[in-house]
Amino acid sequence: MKLSHKNKIFCALDFTELKQTCQFVERIKENVGGIKVGLEFFFKNGIKGVESLKKYNLPIFLDLKLNDIPNTVSRAARNLLELEPEYLTAHLNGGIDMIRSLVDIKMKTKIIGVSLLTSLNDNDLKKFGLEINSKSYVEKLSKIGYEGGVDGMVSSSIEVKDLKNKMPKDFIFVTPGIQLSNTNNDQKRTSSPLEAIKNGSSILIIGRAITNSNNPNQTLKEIISQLEENGN
C-alpha cells in the first residue's frame, strides 16, 4: 500500500523525559505519519513509556537495534512485540539466524533490518578492516535481511537507489539522516526529503530538523508541500 506524503514522515523523538515527549507528540500529531523512539527514551521509560505513546494512535517505530545471539534476541523481543509497535529494528550484522529468530515471532509488527549506520562511511569501514565500500556492504546486508525474512531495512537513500529494483515491491526502505539544510551533525550519509523519496525511500526518519524547529508543524507542512509539488 502506497503511503500518503504525510504518512511517509516519522518524527524521531530523541527526548528522555516522558512528559516532554508526550507534549511534543500532542503538538505535532496531526502533521506526522508516525513517531520513532529509540534508546534514549526507552532506557529511561521502558515498556510503560512506549505504552503511554500508544494513546496518540500513531504508528510507533521502535528503534532499539537488537543485536545479540538468536536466543537472547527472540526472548527479549517477545516482551517488545506485546506492545505491537508498527516497526521494530534489529541489526542485520547479527546474522541470518538472529534475524530469523525475530521474524518467526513477530506477530503484527514489521521487522526492519538496520544496515550501516548513517554516522559511518567508507573510511570507517576501512578502519574496521573491511576492504569494501558502503554501497557494497549495505547490499550484502540486504541479502541477509531478505533471506531472513525482514519486512524492510534502514539505509541511507544513496543505497536505496541501487537496491530498490532488487527487492520486492512491498519491501520497506526506511531512511534516516534526513536534513533540510547543510547542517553540521554526527551523520555522514545524508539526503534531503525530496532526494530520499526520489531514490525510492518508503519512510523518512526526521529528528532534529523537526524537534529543534521553532515551529515544528510549519516545518512538517513545508516538507509535505515540497513532496506534493514534485509529485512524489
Give the pLDDT of the chain (232 residues) as one tens digit per residue. Answer: 567 889 999 999 989 999 999 999 999 999 999 999 999 999 999 999 999 999 999 999 999 999 999 999 999 999 999 999 999 999 999 999 999 999 999 999 999 999 988 788 899 999 999 999 988 999 999 999 999 999 999 988 888 988 999 999 999 999 998 888 655 555 555 688 999 999 999 999 999 999 999 999 999 999 999 888 876 5
The grid coordinates listed for 22 are 508526550
* CB distance 190 to 177 below 8 Å: yes
User: Which CATH number applies to 6-229?
Assistant: 3.20.20.70
Output the pTM of the full model.
0.91
Taking only Cα atoms into account, the Rg of the chain, rounded to an integer number of angstroms, comes to 17
Stated as kind and residue range, the H or E segment containing 61 is strand 60-66
Query: Could you confirm whether 127 is annotated as catalytic?
Result: no
**pLDDT computed for residue 185 by the predictor:** 52
Number of other CB atoms surrounding residue 229 within 10 Å = 9
**CA-wise closest residue to 35 among 44, 27, 43, 25:** 25
Classify 114 as helix, strand or coil: strand
- Between CA 41 and CA 17 the distance in angstroms is 7
- Between CA 62 and CA 77 the distance in angstroms is 11
* CB distance 102 to 71 below 8 Å: no
- Between CA 38 and CA 16 the distance in angstroms is 10
- Between CA 166 and CA 148 the distance in angstroms is 16
Beta strands in 93-216 (DSSP E): 110-114, 152-154, 172-175, 203-206
Sign of the CA dihedral running 53, 55, 60, 62: positive
**CA-wise closest residue to 10 among 220, 228, 230, 229:** 220
* CB distance 64 to 88 below 8 Å: yes
**pLDDT computed for residue 208 by the predictor:** 92
- Between CA 160 and CA 43 the distance in angstroms is 30
The residue written with cell numbers 570507517 in the block is 124
Catalytic residue among 8, 19, 29, 65: 65
**CA-wise closest residue to 65 among 80, 50, 52:** 80
- Between CA 38 and CA 14 the distance in angstroms is 7
